[in-house]
Structure 1
Amino acid sequence: MSEPNDEATKRESAKEDGKFNLSDWALEHKSFVTYFMIIFSIAGIMAYRNLGRAEDPNFTIKTMIMNVQWPGASVDQMTEQVCDRIEKKIEELTTLDYTKSITTAGETTIYVYLKDTTRGEAVTAAWLRVRNIVTDIKPQLPQGVLGPFF
């Protein structure tokens, strides 16, 4: 165990070396440190309460998923008569990045991806354009096709 005189000696030697010891200063000025802690805590609480809040921030989703069903159709029929026709028409879209489709017997799912450079209102207009394109091509699809569903 060290004696209190050893700590006092260390403080004195630090003062003689001309070094500033923040811990010693804080211990010697407790009321000053407490005052600043209270002021900074109150300022922090006030700043926190005044922070802006965005409960539902706007997200621009640049992917559309379209599902088309044709009960009883084979994979080849779905691909050739439904999926390819829709994808070729959607490729007319200027903001289109690429499309991806997954086709099974009787069902196809088409993913439409827009370019990353497409901005908010242009995305909404692009999705409306896709819906219009699909509505225009729907009479050309085989009888019994259900959808497309977005």
Structure 2
Amino acid sequence: MQSGIGIHQRVIEEFETMKIRKAGLVRRKLLRLNLSKDEKCLVVDEDYVAQQQTYRDGYQQLLSHLKPDTCCILIFDLCYDTKDYLSKDDLVLILWCPDGASTKKKMQFSTGKTAVKDKLKGFKLDLEVNSLDEIELSILADKLGGSNVVKIEGVPV
């Protein structure tokens, strides 16, 4: 790839499964990507797979993956409700590069995000955040549809 960071095939497969809306299909709510040990490609971060089932609140689950000194890329299946009584599910790509992370990691993940956008299609939002206040519910609501969004992950905005 041009970016120098590849995408592991499992990431592609998991992402495609997240896009499928079919009754009875068990799919992930959130996919956390990290660099492989050789730092050549993005892989599914297995350390966080078990954590998937421990949260009832999807927004809190999302926040739990954002560590103050560790970069990551998150693909999140975001549920939200509108004033028109519509419930929507959209995939959101989040690049998390906190101030406490090393410059090298920030650069690697920024490059990795470009690779993800080139390879995986279907994101409603593409966010780059460095602190938790950049991903508050009100900010997400504004980016999803402004004042038309009334709930995100069941939480009133």
What is the TM-score normalised by the length of structure 2? 0.26
Larger Rg: 1
Q: If each structure's strand is expressed as a fraction of its own residues, which one has the higher value?
A: 2
Q: If each structure's helix is expressed as a fraction of its own residues, which one has the higher value?
A: 1
